[in-house]
Structure 1
Amino acid sequence: MAGEWSDPRSFDEESLNDFDLWTTRAALESLVDEALGDALIRRGLRREDLSPEDAREALQANESLLAKLRMLQDQVAAEGSAAFRPRTRPANLGEVGWLILPVLFAVGYLTMLVLAWQAMPLFLKIFTTLALPGGVAAVFARVSRRVSALSARFTTGTVEFGEEQLGLGHRREFALQEIVLPEIRNYVVAHRRLHYGTKLVFGEQRDLYEEESDRIVPTPAAKRLRRILDRAGSGAVALGGQRGSGKTTAIHSLRRGLIHGTENPAPLVVVASAPANYDARDFVLHLHGLLCRTVLDRLREDLPFIADWRTWLRRGVRRLAGLIASAAAAWGLGGWLWDGPFLHFPAELWHLLRQVHFPDLIDPLWTVQPTGNRIALVVLALLTLYQTGRLLALPIDALTAAVRRKRNAGLHELHADAHRQLDRIRYLQTHTSGWSGKLLFPAGADFGRTRSTQRAEQQLTHPEVVAEFRAFAEQAAEQLREGGITERVVVAIDELDKIGEQDKAQQLINDIKGIFGVPGCLYLVAVSDDAVLSLEQRGLAVRDALDSAFSELVRLEPFTLDESRLWITQRLPGVPEQFCHLGHCLSGGLPRDLRRTTIDMVDVTAERYQPSLSAVTALLIREELKAKANAFIGQARVLKQTTELAELWTNLLRIPETHESVELAALAAELHEGATNDIGDPVNLLRHHSSAFVFFCATVLELFTDALTEDRLTPSLHQLAIARRHLALDPHLAWSTLTDFRKAHDVGLPGES
């Protein structure tokens, strides 16, 4: 039945039997056609060698996409949009009236102009004549628009189905940007052209070294954060995840307007880094100052400039000078072209204009005039039109500015208040004023008096600082929303997870949580894994400062295998899939480590031409072994020297010198030999960490060789990335994961013959 709806712009009476479903399909087809016409989408389809027709067919057959549009249509209908049922009918009286009204206005204007022409002074004749072409053009434009809109009302049989009748109303752009375009991008990603090979080749590098890139991987956490921004009016949200999972990237992407809905403007984002050694009062003052500066920057961009009286005076003087200059130019050029004495040009021109009678304008001003007079009249008319427009624009601009100032009075008040608040935060204000006088009397007597006052603003206490911040934040959120600049103010506190002691981090949140809960302000706080664990224990008999401060938790997980592949291919187009899998496994899917690993792979190509997978893996593993061996040896130096540590020390020194996978596996077995479950013993813990890491490197070396073909690139390789994450958290679990992985892939275990 879909073939019967191939043209979303027309239908017949049979389509009315299932009109709701037809409307949804018609809306989907219209939106898909518009989305496929986007230049970026077309470029992406060409880059991946995908057919627009195949994409259109796949999207129109997407039942999930159809259901989303149907729900959106129901929302629009519930908001009060009148349902549309197409039918052939004549135009109603109101529509015809809107067509006749401009015509009646034009006829009335011309009639009044003819009747009042003789009684009008010269300047009014000139003004009405100059305004005539503009009025005629406006009437013509109005009539043409109404005629095109009414033409469908008089058709019979098939009726044109306009975009306004697709049931989306004012949410059509939302449907395009938030529903259809993401599905097309997902289609391009899912059907992108994959490259396989064991030679490291790629196209032009894109944003590889840029921390703040526009190429964002749409992870579930990013989508959830976007939903929170759309629905949350206030509150505090904890942004969790281990180090390197992208919390800072998410905050800065939010600040740059990359994570928000298309129906609302980008939020006003204030980003502050949590101090390691803090004072709660000073930190709130720091937030207050950042908020003031951010508000001022946003108003500088979006608030229209309002000129003061000095600007208007200078503008009026310039317009007057221009008028005098134009009059002089018109006299000089017109007098030179005029058929008569130069000095008599103004008088003769005045005499000619007084003889002109409307509507007979062509004969006295053009037909009977010599060529020089015609040119002079044309020049004079052009200069008159130009200067009339400039002079009329001045009062219009002044009126517009007055209306704009009144409409944006709240924003201007906010601008001034932000300056005052910022000055108050920065400086200790001191104001001194006084007067003195002296009165002389005869015989040398005198009388004098001096008076002075000094005012020094006292330091605010912490509760007062919090109250001041809340008041200004609420005012900023309200005024920015009413002014149409943004719907929400977001205060993001980053790097709280870098505070070493969990008690200090909780104390900081406990001290500043008084600023939370401001209407129109949303707070995002990057917290540590311990804080995430605390928040996930809600409902148990455990409650701390974090539990009482945050209303929601968004956890940023490491990339999945597909997300890592997408991240790498966005920056290294054409890179073989084998190297994408290698980057994911070595980084564990952590975005920060994935960037570093990808950069290291690119650096290999600076020394070797199209290096092989085995060579790249060997070089990366060698650097990893050197770095971690130094770390292990550094840890061993601070431990108490024992016989067990001496034996372990010998094996640790062998790590950077061992390069083959078999030798590394044997070394891992030696490091792990004698390990116990006593994690309280630092030597035993060091044995577990070093052995698990060497075991991981041996497994990667043995797997990522030039023999790694396309059929061996399975999702099970993700277990290596999981083992990589476990190395920093639980080396016992990492060893167990690696053992299971090697068994599943028929890779021999250390010590097996």
Structure 2
Amino acid sequence: MLWDHPPVAGKWSDPRAFDEEALDDFDLWTTRAALESLVDEALGETSIRHTLRREDLAGSDAREALLENETLLAKLRMLQDQVAAEGDAGFRPRTRPIRIGGLGWLAVPALFAVGYLTLLVAAWDAMPVFLRIFTVLALPCGLAAVTARVLRQVATLRAQFTPGPAEFGEEQLGLGHRREFALREIVLPEIRDYLVAHRRLYYGTKLVFEKQRDLYEENSDRIVPTPAAKRLRRILDRAGSGAVALGGQRGSGKSTAILSLQRGLIHGTENPAPLVVLAAAPADYDARDFVLHLHSLLCQTVLERLRADLPPIEDWRTWLRRGARRLAGLTGSAAVAWLLGGWLWDGPFLHFPAELWQLLAQVRFPDLIGPLWTDQPAGNRIAVLVLALLALVEAVQLLSLPVAVLVAAVRHRHNAELHALRADAHQQLDRIRYLLTHTSGWSGKLLLPAGADLGRTRSTQRARQQLTHPEVVTEFRTFAEQTAARLRDGGITERLVVAIDELDKIGEPDKAQQLVNDIKGIFGVPGCLYLVSVSDDALLSLEQRGLAVRDAMDSAFSELVRLEPFTLDESRLWITERLPRVPEQFCHLGHCLSGGLPRDLRRTTIDMVDVTAELYEPSLSAVTAILVRAELTAKATTFTGQARTLEQTGELTELWTKLLRIPETHESVELAALAAGLHEGATNDIGDPVNLLRHHSSAFVLFCATVLELFTDALTEDRLTPALHQLAVARRYLALDPHLAWATLTDFRKAHDLELPE
């Protein structure tokens, strides 16, 4: 059970529980009634029940917490106001409807049982032995099926006739057609947040976990509900057109968000998943060619979607083949009917068709039972019954063919716009791929006297000229607008999304801005939303709105969504979704080593799991030492490689000697001392490459020393505080500002009573 006591109609959900206080605030009463109804339905879902049972949580506690959630109550109140403004009916109490149509289904099993037993008794003497055995064995099976059908129907009727509290329909809860939206978008997220906040935590310094799930899948369905993902959902629900910039640090999950959108994992429940066209921004581009590439991808995506959602067009050859198969089936059924009927018929086998025809010719409506059943021996009755069943089946099969033709014609007419869109997409794709060439001409010859002749030929060749960039943009906008409108009218999807990924990977910010400036003419198509991943430099220009300078980025995008690195709780949720029952110490370790960046968090978690392939239940100290040693080795190679490219000086030679000691140093105290040595002599002159290398290397070594000192087998539950998130912040600063990373690390070590580097 979900709760300790069964959910019954409470003081808010039972219309008979009206009191003076409820009448004084009727709106609040209806909101609480809607909330209780939705919470009970949500807690009854299989996934929620399974999670409650797995986390050993009481459903009654979750129900009570949700019903007391004032924020949840306010969201439902606002939704009810929106529905009322749209003209939906308000609260109308009604009693439970009584449906008596189910009573007729009780007679069908009873008639079947009586008819079967009557036929069995009447034909028993005429049946061969094997048929008697078959009918006897089939009797208990038939009785069991009939009994099960009767019991199910009786239970349904009992529930209908049992008096109880009034049911609440959509009009009674004040949610109208948006009740499903309230359940999926308001109540269920709150329940999941409650489950996350109250989930069972595991502590320990041994790396143990249940079977891993989707750890090696980059496109997993287990999405962490970050604020950026929620905002993207809101944008999809409200935005009819426009361009949205999707920014964030490298590895923050921009590509994952776009792929999740393409797979239909990020969208509201009221609308179907959008049709997403995904394109990668080219490093070396031509604006005209890139727009043509987008046009081609749009055509291909539309054709793939219509191929999945529209039935194929069947020509007259297909229907002819179906008709031939039906006739072949009819011939085979006639042969089977002759064999079975002749074998069961009370008379010579070869005389069966003629005798059956004579019998049917003597039958006069409405007296059918007597000549065909009562006056016939048992064998003839069974033969007539078998033939009647075969005739019924064949009649249905033959009638299904013209019905299918009619249904296909109606469906084709209903989907005429979508079929036109498919044809248009094929035509557009051909125009993009090929240069159309057409040749026409005429020639003639006129014979003159004395053997002379006169002739003339003329030939013209027409080749379609390449479209200019404005013409390409116009063609794309026209087709995209028509596509969005036809898909919406055809019930396929409400939104067309064109996602341009990897724009932030263009090395030069000016080049990326120039690309956006060249293609922004395709933005603003009605029903088409553009989503473009941009770099942090581009985000800076967007965040400086209000200043006198406006660049291509600012003028192109109407909205900005920034993907921030994971918080500590989000990283813990990501890891525990893939490694159930993993101790919290290892979740904190993965967050700190990755800096909260989703891409690095996945790599770090995989590295932790790989340690278990070599060591049985490795300790926290062992896992930390292995991961940090791998980091030190990789970074030391990078630092020495950078040093080789610099001009050789005495200062660089001294620094190089210390850099070579990095992969050989494993103890935290020695690493801290090495970090102090690397940082010795550092200045604020970031223009000096040797000084910049000194800052980068010293900050990274100090970070590794801090991780080694902190994540040991002595790290107990009480020491796992939110302050550990500062280590992840310092990890992110290493790639952005080594000065700030060094300062953050020294502050962290001072707060945790760790020895400061001198």
Q: TM-score, normalised by structure 1?
A: 0.87
* Contact 1:9 1:162 (8 Å CA) reproduced: no
Q: Is the 8 A contact 1:337 1:375 kept in 2?
A: yes
The secondary structure found in structure 2 opposite 1:194 is coil
How far apart in 2 are the matches of 1:342 and 1:474?
A: 71
CA 1:197–1:381: 2 relative to 1, 3 Å: same
The 8 Å contact of residues 10 and 161 in structure 1, kept in 2 or not, is answered as: no
Residue 126 (structure 1) aligns with: none
**1:492–1:159 Cα change, 3 Å:** closer
Q: Which residue of 2 aligns with 1:625?
A: 632
| 1:5 to 1:376, Cα distance in 2 relative to 1, 3 A | closer
Aligned equivalent of 1:684, options 678, 685, 691: 691
Contact 1:8–1:161 at 8 Å: present in 2 too? Answer: no
| Partner in structure 1 of residue 495 of structure 2 | 488
Taking a change above 3 Å as real, the CA distance of residues 362 and 586 of structure 1, as seen in their structure-2 partners, is same
Q: What does the per-residue CA deviation read over 1:562-605, in whole Å, with 9 as the maximum and x for residues that have no partner?
A: 00111111111111111111111111111111111111111111
Q: Is 2:382 the counterpart of 1:382? A: no
Indicate how the Cα distance of structure 1 residues 388 and 462 shifts in structure 2: closer, same or farther if over 3 A, else same: same
2:668 matched to which residue of 1?
661
Mean CA deviation greater in 27-36 or 686-695: 27-36
Counterpart of 1:716 in structure 2 is: 723
Give the equivalent residue in structure 1 for 2:284.
277
2:18 alignment partner in structure 1: 14
Task: Confirm or deny that 1:231 pairs with 2:238.
Answer: yes
Counterpart of 2:285 in 1: which secondary structure?
A: coil
Q: Report the residue type matching 1:35 in the other structure.
A: A
Whole-angstrom distance in 2 between the partners of 1:440 and 1:336: 86
The separation in 2 between residues aligned to 1:437 and 1:342, in whole angstroms, is 79
On the 8 A contact 2:9/2:165 being kept in 1, the answer is no
Measured in 2, the distance between the counterparts of 1:335 and 1:657 equals 95
Q: Which moved more, 1:349-358 or 1:567-576?
A: 349-358
Larger CA deviation: 76-85 vs 482-491: 76-85
1:335-354 map, 5 Å: 335-340=342-347, 342=349, 345-354=352-361
In structure 1, distance between residues paired with 2:384 and 2:562: 76
For 2:305, the aligned partner's letter is R
Name the CA shift for 1:649/1:314 in 2 (closer, same or farther; >3 Å). same
Q: Aligned pair 1:529/2:533, yes or no?
A: no
Q: CA deviation at 1:536?
A: 0.2
Contact preservation (8 Å) 1:9, 1:160: no
Alpha-carbon distance in structure 2 between the residues aligned to 1:477 and 1:688: 53
Cα separation, partners in 2 of 1:299 and 1:158, compared to 1, 3 Å: closer
Within-5 A mapping of 1:148-159: 159=166
Aligned residue number for residue 703 of structure 2: 696
1:11-62 CA-to-partner distances (Å, cap 9, x unmatched) read 4163673554343333333322322232222222222222223222222222
Give 3-state SS (helix, strand or coil) of 2:702's partner: helix
Alignment of 1:27-426 (within 5 A): 27-86=34-93, 159-162=166-169, 165-340=172-347, 342=349, 345-426=352-433
Tell me, in whole angstroms, the C-alpha distance in 1 between the residues paired with 2:56 and 2:463.
Answer: 71
The 3-state SS of whatever aligns with 1:646 is: helix
8 Å CA contact 2:15–2:93 kept in 1: the answer is no
Percent identity between matched residues is: 81
The verdict on how the C-alpha distance between 1:355 and 1:173 changes in structure 2, with shifts beyond 3 A counting, is: farther
The 3-state SS of whatever aligns with 1:707 is coil
Cα deviation 1:627-685 (Å, max 9, x = unaligned)? 11111111111112222222212211111111111111111111111111111111111
Q: Provide Cα deviations, 1:457-506, integer angstroms capped at 9, x if missing partner.
A: 22111111111111111111111111111111111111111111111000
> 1:257 Cα deviation (Å)?
0.5
CA contact (8 A) 2:576 2:582 kept: yes
How many angstroms does 1:528 deviate by? 0.3
**SS of 2:500's equivalent?**
strand
- Residue identity in the other structure for 1:286: H
Question: Mean Cα displacement is larger for which, 377-386 or 714-723?
Answer: 377-386
Distance in 2 (alpha carbons) for counterparts of 1:419 and 1:721? 51
CA distance in 2, matches of 1:393, 1:659: 78
Asked if 1 retains the 8 angstrom alpha-carbon contact of 2:726 and 2:748, the reply is yes
The one-letter code matched in structure 2 to 1:694 is V
Residue aligning to 1:651: 658
Structure 1 Cα separation of the partners of residues 732 and 226 of structure 2: 19
CA displacement 1:55-98 (0-9 Å, x = unmatched):
2222222222222223223322322222233267999xxx99x9
Moved more, 674-683 or 545-554: 674-683
Please give the alpha-carbon distance, in whole angstroms, between the structure 2 residues aligned to 1:560 and 1:258: 21
Q: 1:434, CA displacement in angstroms? A: 6.8
Equivalent position SS for 2:530: strand
Deviation at 1:291, TM superposition (A): 0.8
CA gap 1:635/1:436 in 2 versus in 1, 3 angstroms: same
Q: Which range moved further: 544-553 or 616-625?
A: 616-625
Q: TM-score, normalised by structure 2?
A: 0.86
The aligned residue for residue 592 of structure 1 is: 599
In the other structure, the counterpart of 2:137 is none
Q: Which secondary structure does the structure 1 equivalent of 2:642 belong to?
A: helix
Q: How does 1:503-518 map to 2 (within 5 A)?
A: 503-518=510-525
Distance 1:184-1:88 versus aligned 2 partners, 3 A rule: closer
Aligned equivalents of 2:505, 2:219: Cα separation in 1: 20
Aligned to 2:477: 470
1:280 corresponds to which letter in structure 2?
A
Contact 2:94-2:167 within 8 A present in 1 as well? no
Aligned equivalents of 2:259, 2:716: Cα separation in 1: 39
Between the two proteins, the alignment pairs up a number of residues equal to 698
Q: Distance in 1 between matches of 2:622 and 2:243?
A: 48
Point out where structure 2 has 5 or more consecutive residues left out of the alignment: 1-5, 103-152
Cα distance in structure 1, aligned partners of 2:56 and 2:225: 23
For 1:573, which of 577, 580, 596 is the aligned residue?
580
Residues 170 and 177 of structure 2 are in contact (CA less than 8 Å); yes or no, is this contact kept in structure 1?
no
Q: Distance in 2 between matches of 1:24 and 1:179?
A: 13
Closer, same or farther in 2 for the Cα pair 1:163/1:518, shift >3 Å? Answer: closer
- Shift in Å, 1:5: 4.3
- Partner Cα distance (2:406, 2:448) in 1: 60
Give the C-alpha shift of residue 353 in structure 1.
3.5
Q: What's the CA shift string for 1:401-458, capped at 9, x where partnerless?
A: 1111111111111111111111111122334567889999999999988776544322
Matches of 1:73 and 1:640 in 2, distance apart? 71
CA distance in 2, matches of 1:404, 1:450: 52
Deviation, 1:397, is: 1.3
- CA–CA separation in structure 2 for the residues paired with 1:179 and 1:235: 26
1:725 is aligned to 2:729: no
Taking the aligned partners of 1:196 and 1:89, their CA distance within structure 2 comes to 51
1:132 aligned residue? none
Partner of 2:565: 558
Structure 2 distance, partners of 1:682, 1:430, is: 59
Q: Distance in 2 between matches of 1:581 and 1:401?
A: 59
- Code of the aligned partner of 2:538: A
Instruction: Tell me the secondary structure at the aligned position of residue 12 of structure 1.
Output: helix
CA distance 1:65–1:345, change in 2 (3 Å): same
Q: Distance in 2 between matches of 1:313 and 1:586?
A: 67
Is 1:609 the counterpart of 2:600? The answer is: no
1:229, distance to aligned residue in structure 2 (A) = 0.6
Query: After the TM superposition, which of the residue ranges 444-453 and 529-538 deviates more from structure 2?
Result: 444-453
Question: Kindly tell me: are residues 71 and 316 of structure 1, through their superposed partners in 2, closer, same or farther at Cα, counting changes over 3 Å?
Answer: same
Once superposed, what is the RMSD of the aligned Cα atoms?
Answer: 3.0
Alignment-mate amino acid for residue 10 of structure 2: S
Shift of the alpha carbon at 1:3? 9.8
User: 8 Å contact 2:211–2:580 — kept in the other structure?
Assistant: yes
Secondary structure at 1:654 match in 2: coil
CA distance in 1, matches of 2:240, 2:377: 74
Match of 1:121 in 2: none
Farther off after superposition, 625-634 or 233-242: 625-634
